[in-house]
Structure 1
Amino acid sequence: MFHLGRSGRIGLLASVAMIGGWVACLGEEPEADGSSREALSRFVGLYCAECHNAEDKSGDLDLERLVAEGVEANPHAWEKTVRRLATRQMPPADAVRPRERAYESILATLEASLDRAAADRPNAGRTETLRRLNRTEYQNAIRDLLALDVDASALLPNDESSRGFDNITVAGLSPTLLDRYITAAQKISRLAIGGQGRSPGGDTFRIRGDVTQEEHVEGLPPGTRGGALIPYTFPQDGNYDVQVRLTRDRDEHVEGLHEPHDLEILLDRDRRALLTVTPPKVDTDHQKADEKLKVRIAATAGPHQLGVTFLKNPSSLLETKRQPYQAHYNMHRHPRLSPAVFQVSITGPYAVKGTGETPSRRRIFVRRPTGPDDEVACAREIVSLLTRHAYRRPVADADLEKPMEFYCSARADGDFDAGIEAALGAILVSPQFLFRIEPDPPGVASKTAYRISDVQLASRLSFFIWSSIPDDELLDLASRGELHKPDVLEGQVRRMLGDERSRALATNFAGQWLHLRNLDSTTPDLRLFPDFDDNLRQSFRQETELTFESVLTEDRSVLDLIQSDHAFLNERLAKHYGIPNVYGSRFRRVSLGEGGERGGLLRQGSILTVTSYATRTSPVIRGKWVLENILGTPPPPPPADVPALEDNTVASNLSVRERLAKHRADVACASCHKLMDPVGFSLENFDAVGRWRTQEDGKPADATGGLPDGTTFTGVDGLERALLKRPELFAAALTEKLMTFALGRGVETYDAPAVRKVVRQAPERGYRFSSLILGIASSTPFQMRNSE
């Protein structure tokens, strides 16, 4: 026995690695046999031990020790190793690397051991016992409970995000937030019942200042331009005042008012008023230009579509050498050509005629009392049904006590409807409604995995797929203890995916996964991108949501999100992309020819814009986005002392690629940037607002790039082809994101066996979207939970 010093050890390991490289070249590389620790030891010795040994511990990982102790003894460390091997990030691209067959063999060995250990000792993870409904879930729950659409963003504050989603950090309820929920419950219960307030109420709706209003707004009648289509629930039958205020400049002059314009007020596409706004005769009359844009209309209680829009005057096409600007909202660069609506105020009701027969009242009043002696029994039946749906479970007599107390108190001072309104308000502020509650069952040993109840499973399914409460069919199956049965569960998942409520996966899940919510706070530099406005911003969002929704509703392969032969466009977006023959505000599916620049997610303006700076593209942000959201291997956060990439340094005359090369010269920066930068460079044919370009700063755009596994390519075509060569990586990344969203907690290394199971089943089902959802719904983390 003898001991080698550190330098001798490294030299010996380097020699072993070199020999391994020669063997690989000769085609005689040792293979793992699928079960042998010796095979794993040989692999680690050849390719890993030079860095991951007892002395160096690169990445705080001593693989030699871990091999000796056995895979099952250290699942956390080996799962991290599996991820690096699966994405071919280990060994590094500049080191001696195994052939593909050896990668696959050693991964099979490791994954089999890890999966066996997970099956023997299930670790389902633990969600919070109390999780508050976030703002989106609250809004959808009100919709499905009361057949009432409300704008929760006007009632409740934003939810904080964690792990990319806002349904994770929702355990607490501060006094301020509780007050907001109480106020919301009072407004919602009054609106649902049609109760009369002490005085006429009102709501004001404002249009963003950067909206161009020169063309037709989808949903409004043809021949109109600008304005807004406002979904609005009128509380009672009666009269309501509608007042319109036009957009003004800093001098309080109405913008674009050079000639008379007709303003139309519509209710469900029926004209209720036609008003005319005329240019003021003297400058001091500008502030009075829209003071007469007020009208009183009659409306029945319930949901309606209020339209406020201008009749479109004939206009000529601007003759220019280039495409005319589409944005007309900036009074300095592209002033409005015509007046625009700034805000619409609705006040009322006046001359109340009754509560009407609204969808909400039909949903709530399942029966009416036959007389005074029947009122309590009738109220109890109504309250019982409401609590069953609101609390998402069978209810007991104790659940009805508090709402019935509120009913009786309010009924003593008012009528039957007032009592039901008070009871509904009590239900809407109950913790049983505001929180998803998953208590540990009695008698379960500490820190052991147990199967959740069918009632809890029903809520997990509905909040996963619908971002809302379970319906009657789910609750009935859960109450009978049948929901967990595999065939029943699959049938319910497919039914739920076919329901229009599953669109929440496109707007809520995809909106967060793909960072679409960041669009609202993204405004490119208007000096460099003068044609950017909110119309384009919302078109970006809708294109991506429709792309995701089409894969979901048509149950196509999730790989179609990466590469597609069609795009969803309207005229505004098509002009931005340079695609001809698309007209009007309506979005439609447009087939793309070969060699086009549009299609999959990586080619869409939404993602390209939110991964750019206001003045230029960012290969770093784009590369990090792809690694995190498409490959599921985000780089580690930068150290605190790493300097940022400066634009205003001596090197600012260099291209972004050249500046990043200097940045990578810093050893502290290189480890992460060598992973991110090549991926981002492949998207350099798209500018900061997603337009295609072949030139950058007067030079040919350089879109050569690569992946962390050493693959090199050019442009977005090459990136897509490289991603589709390893479809399991994208399927795994998407599964992890979906599982995070479904569980309301981060996916940890102990969830990796469940993710692998979902991904292994996906190819035989054509990577269909439903295969991922079904796999997650059937997984151990989704159907089980660890006790405290």
Structure 2
Amino acid sequence: MSLPLGLCRVCVLATRRPARFIGLSALLALLVLCPDASAQKESPTLKPVPQDAFKKTIVPFFNKYCVECHGKDEPEGEFSLMGLMDEASIYSSHKSWEKVFGMLELGAMPPEDADPKPGDAENDKIVAYLDALVFTVDCNAVRDPGRVTVRRLNRTEYNNTVRDLLGVDFRPADGFPSDDVGYGFDNIGDVLTISPLLLEKYLDAAEAVAEAAIAAPPKPEKRKFSGTQLQRTGSATLSGSGAYGLNSSGSVYKYYRFETPGDYILRARAGGQSAAGEDAKMEVRLDAKVLKVFDVKPPRQSMNVYEIKVHVDSDTKKFEAAFINDYYNPTKGEDRNLAIASLEIEGPLDAPSEDVPDSHKRLVIAHPGKSKEASAALASARKVLEPFIGRAFRRPATKAEVDRFTSLVKIASEQGDGYEEALRVAVSGVLVSPHFLFRIEQDPKPDNPKVQRNLNDYELASRLSYFLWSTMPDDELLALAGQFKLHDDKVLEAQVRRMLADPRSQALVDNFAAQWLNLRSLADVTPDRKQFPTFDEKLQADMRRETEMFFETVMREDRNMLDLLDGKFTFLNKRLAKHYGISGVQGEEFRQVELTGNQRAGVLTHGSILTITSNPTRTSPVKRGKWILENILGTPPPIPPDDVPLLAESQSARPDATLREQLELHREIPGCRACHESLDSIGFGFENFDAVGRWRDREGKNPVDASGVLPSGEEFAGPLELVQVLKKKQGDVSRNIVEKMLTYALGRGLEYYDQCAVDSIVRAHAKAEFRFSALVLQIVKCDPFLKRRGDGE
């Protein structure tokens, strides 16, 4: 495999992403980084590999140059080649072979001090053979759809799912630990782990969500009256202990306004002194009506509670407790008396619930009413829980699942909870179930990688909704899944178009675009306030909003996605327009502005992108070039060697030199030129924009030079010409967007066997003039999205 520039092989390795197809990623790097490869348009054709190449060429190469260090006895780096000595291992240990290929292609192995060490021709021959053997995929054979690790909901998905499942208007997951990021996104199954802290957060959130969603009847109000709060008649006398003593007939009472009609409990706390074989009798009255006569047990100092439940209309009434059986016999020393410490009113017990939230009305579709039978409450709970569990689990609930969560209602009821409070317990249980917290796609043979299957309709509904909306499927998707219609091409396409038109597709802006374009990192950027005093949090937010609205317009209007590069419009408010030096924009609200006659076009000239690719005090052509290679062309440069000196050392050598001159000095360092020629050339095309995205014609005392020549030969002068150069690489741009969005849609990194699907999507996307909807439709119709297999290499 002959590579231009010698060091270009280093750049090729850096572009080898998990998804590759017969050296395709090498082509992407060659187009940008290698000058004599610019004319190539298709994947390079590798020379046929001899049938016995593995046995007669690769194995002897390993034995001669590698096994001394990577043999069976304490291999260096804990990496042994002993399990890779037969051709079948290419399939059974594919990850290991990718690592071997990468190290050989980079030239990192065998190391420089190895003896013997293969020559370039011998090494290139092995690299070429391995490229064909390890990464060739026959797209006419059975395709591998890959396998997505069981995925938990990330924080955004959790908040959105709770919102759509229950209608609560708060975001419990905002307090969860941050989600890890893999392949540029925070919805990748392999990195979405669960910590003990997160488990605790799940429990707390489930209780809070259930309490917010279900309105339990208000706790009855309790009003207690004692001492001077009470009025008295007859012999009732307030003692030093705070209780009223009644040594003969008398009473204590309270006039009380019952605001709400309903059932109330009336209580009196009293103690008695018996005489002549009879306890003191206390008559409880409401107005003139006697409600009940209680026998008050001695001793007088030991106060007990006596209560009665009564229905009361809305009115002011006299609540009274009277001593009615006074007895005194001095001869026998017998004296019957009563002491009353307090009166208490509790209620109403059955307060009306007209003001319950919509979430309650939506969820609590059955109620036992006034029935006190446990069976009635459980029957109502089943009617509530069965559809709720089905929606929470994004598939029909099984009888066993409904039984299990209904039993929680039974247990809570037996412990004294009311119907609504018991439902809260069951709902909390559902919200901490793995079937809610995870997107589970159950395979019949999960450990057999040879067993492939189509997703069932409910699994497909979840993939669609979490891809396009970052939330659970809605009723229409679930209904179609229940009718087994989602795999119908016409139905699937109609649903995708419906979902893209729905406001919830804003999730693609907030979660896909914001991560792909690194907009989330804008909040962490801190330009020097002395050099850029107008940059503040409001301007920072405006910059992000501009890019989000631009992407949203491409999506909503189903534009050509290459408009992201050169669209001659943007969205501005007065503050951001002033920052850009654009007149005629007033107010805080954003509006679309045409950029005719302006030096801006597409997202590459947005303040957000220009700021995140700068240093705090100055621009960074290297960062800007690297960002474009990674995020637009999909050809990231390699990680620089550890011994490469920092640019500051070049600055100290010539402190008065321009940034371009300093970087030219840096490129003279061995090992830097090959990659920096491309990084710097692209980055310098945007030097007219300062570190916070303002236009400038001078850098200090020197005029800005934004011209350049890419290693592939294209010349440009200024940002607009460079944008057009980049747009001509539309195949690279489209492929990168396809790979980014497919990664996001699947929730996993792409592998070499995904390239058949990627190639097909890229071709269809180009045929459809790179329309946004065409890309989404092709992704949801590809095998990796519609199918899965068991685990394995």
- What interval of TM-score do these two structures reach, taking the shorter chain for normalisation? 0.5 to 0.7
> Once the two structures are superposed, what CA deviation does each residue of 1:246-274 show, in whole Å capped at 9, x if it has no partner?
xxxxxxxxxxxxxxxxxxxxxxxxxxxxx
Superposition map of 1:221-232 within 5 A: none
Indicate which of 122, 145, 151 corresponds to 1:131.
151
CA distance in structure 2 between the partners assigned to 1:158 and 1:75 by the alignment = 26
Could you tell me which residue of structure 2 aligns to residue 624 of structure 1? 626
CA distance in structure 2 between the partners assigned to 1:738 and 1:618 by the alignment = 28
Asked if structure 2 preserves the Cα contact closer than 8 Å seen for 1:139 and 1:149, the reply is no
Could you tell me which residue of structure 1 aligns to residue 592 of structure 2? 589
**What code does the residue aligned with 1:406 have?**
L
Could you tell me which residue of structure 2 aligns to residue 161 of structure 1? 181
CA distance in structure 1 between the partners assigned to 2:424 and 2:626 by the alignment = 51
Superposition map of 1:362-761 within 5 A: 362-372=361-371, 374-412=376-414, 413-442=416-445, 445-592=448-595, 594-646=596-648, 649-761=652-764
Matched residue SS, 2:636: coil
Cα displacement (A) at 1:769: 0.3
Quickly say closer, same or farther: Cα 1:704–1:740, change in 2 above 3 A.
same
Cα displacement (A) at 1:49: 6.7
Quickly say closer, same or farther: Cα 1:57–1:625, change in 2 above 3 A.
closer
**What code does the residue aligned with 1:640 have?**
D
CA distance in structure 2 between the partners assigned to 1:674 and 1:751 by the alignment = 31
**What code does the residue aligned with 1:431 have?**
P
Cα displacement (A) at 1:198: 10
Indicate which of 66, 84, 87 corresponds to 2:26.
84
Could you tell me which residue of structure 2 aligns to residue 186 of structure 1? 207
Matched residue SS, 2:712: coil
Quickly say closer, same or farther: Cα 1:550–1:491, change in 2 above 3 A.
same
CA distance in structure 2 between the partners assigned to 1:737 and 1:557 by the alignment = 17
> Once the two structures are superposed, what CA deviation does each residue of 1:700-742 show, in whole Å capped at 9, x if it has no partner?
1111134453322122101211122232221111111111111
Asked if structure 2 preserves the Cα contact closer than 8 Å seen for 1:402 and 1:426, the reply is no
- Bigger Rg over Cα: 2
Could you tell me which residue of structure 2 aligns to residue 121 of structure 1? 142
**What code does the residue aligned with 1:712 have?**
E
Matched residue SS, 2:672: helix
The answer on 1:146 being equivalent to 2:145 is no
CA distance in structure 2 between the partners assigned to 1:566 and 1:583 by the alignment = 17
Tell which has more relative contact order, 1 or 2 (C-alpha 8 A, sep 6+): 2
CA distance in structure 1 between the partners assigned to 2:138 and 2:624 by the alignment = 37
Could you tell me which residue of structure 1 aligns to residue 358 of structure 2? 359
Asked if structure 1 preserves the Cα contact closer than 8 Å seen for 2:446 and 2:789, the reply is no
Cα displacement (A) at 1:755: 1.3
Quickly say closer, same or farther: Cα 1:58–1:517, change in 2 above 3 A.
closer
Quickly say closer, same or farther: Cα 1:646–1:378, change in 2 above 3 A.
same
CA distance in structure 2 between the partners assigned to 1:670 and 1:117 by the alignment = 37
> Once the two structures are superposed, what CA deviation does each residue of 1:111-139 show, in whole Å capped at 9, x if it has no partner?
999997123031222211x2111101101
**What code does the residue aligned with 1:539 have?**
D
Superposition map of 1:258-297 within 5 A: none
Matched residue SS, 2:385: helix
CA distance in structure 2 between the partners assigned to 1:147 and 1:78 by the alignment = 43
The alignment yields a C-alpha RMSD, in angstroms, of 3.2
CA distance in structure 2 between the partners assigned to 1:439 and 1:430 by the alignment = 16
Quickly say closer, same or farther: Cα 1:400–1:700, change in 2 above 3 A.
same
CA distance in structure 1 between the partners assigned to 2:612 and 2:779 by the alignment = 29
> Once the two structures are superposed, what CA deviation does each residue of 1:314-360 show, in whole Å capped at 9, x if it has no partner?
xxxxxxxxxxxxxxxxxxxxxxxxxxxxxxxxxxxxxx996823232
Quickly say closer, same or farther: Cα 1:700–1:172, change in 2 above 3 A.
same
**What code does the residue aligned with 2:490 have?**
D
CA distance in structure 1 between the partners assigned to 2:767 and 2:467 by the alignment = 24
Could you tell me which residue of structure 2 aligns to residue 34 of structure 1? none
Indicate which of 198, 215, 221 corresponds to 1:177.
198
Cα displacement (A) at 1:375: 2.7
CA distance in structure 2 between the partners assigned to 1:686 and 1:57 by the alignment = 30
CA distance in structure 1 between the partners assigned to 2:180 and 2:379 by the alignment = 43
Matched residue SS, 2:562: helix
Quickly say closer, same or farther: Cα 1:558–1:188, change in 2 above 3 A.
same
The answer on 1:785 being equivalent to 2:791 is no
Cα displacement (A) at 1:461: 1.0
Asked if structure 2 preserves the Cα contact closer than 8 Å seen for 1:190 and 1:196, the reply is no
CA distance in structure 2 between the partners assigned to 1:564 and 1:668 by the alignment = 37
Q: Percent identity?
A: 42
**What code does the residue aligned with 1:85 have?**
L
CA distance in structure 2 between the partners assigned to 1:157 and 1:444 by the alignment = 31
Superposition map of 1:228-377 within 5 A: 356-372=355-371, 374-377=376-379
Asked if structure 2 preserves the Cα contact closer than 8 Å seen for 1:682 and 1:706, the reply is no
**What code does the residue aligned with 2:212 have?**
L
> Once the two structures are superposed, what CA deviation does each residue of 1:590-615 show, in whole Å capped at 9, x if it has no partner?
222x2213341001111111111111
CA distance in structure 2 between the partners assigned to 1:393 and 1:78 by the alignment = 35
Asked if structure 1 preserves the Cα contact closer than 8 Å seen for 2:187 and 2:744, the reply is yes
Matched residue SS, 1:450: strand
CA distance in structure 1 between the partners assigned to 2:486 and 2:132 by the alignment = 30
Quickly say closer, same or farther: Cα 1:98–1:666, change in 2 above 3 A.
closer
Quickly say closer, same or farther: Cα 1:137–1:61, change in 2 above 3 A.
closer
CA distance in structure 2 between the partners assigned to 1:194 and 1:76 by the alignment = 50
Quickly say closer, same or farther: Cα 1:685–1:194, change in 2 above 3 A.
farther
Asked if structure 2 preserves the Cα contact closer than 8 Å seen for 1:683 and 1:715, the reply is yes
Asked if structure 2 preserves the Cα contact closer than 8 Å seen for 1:516 and 1:541, the reply is yes
Matched residue SS, 2:610: helix
Unaligned 5+ segments in structure 2 are: 49-130, 221-350
**What code does the residue aligned with 1:135 have?**
R
Asked if structure 2 preserves the Cα contact closer than 8 Å seen for 1:462 and 1:469, the reply is yes
Matched residue SS, 1:561: helix
Asked if structure 1 preserves the Cα contact closer than 8 Å seen for 2:38 and 2:712, the reply is no
**What code does the residue aligned with 1:166 have?**
D
CA distance in structure 2 between the partners assigned to 1:722 and 1:109 by the alignment = 31
Superposition map of 1:16-31 within 5 A: none
Matched residue SS, 1:576: helix
CA distance in structure 1 between the partners assigned to 2:632 and 2:379 by the alignment = 56
TM normalised by structure 2 equals: 0.67
Matched residue SS, 2:644: coil
Asked if structure 1 preserves the Cα contact closer than 8 Å seen for 2:23 and 2:43, the reply is no
Quickly say closer, same or farther: Cα 1:99–1:608, change in 2 above 3 A.
closer
CA distance in structure 2 between the partners assigned to 1:105 and 1:538 by the alignment = 42
Cα displacement (A) at 1:197: 11
Quickly say closer, same or farther: Cα 1:187–1:624, change in 2 above 3 A.
same
Quickly say closer, same or farther: Cα 1:552–1:75, change in 2 above 3 A.
closer
CA distance in structure 2 between the partners assigned to 1:421 and 1:537 by the alignment = 42
How many residue pairs are counted as aligned between the two chains? Answer: 570
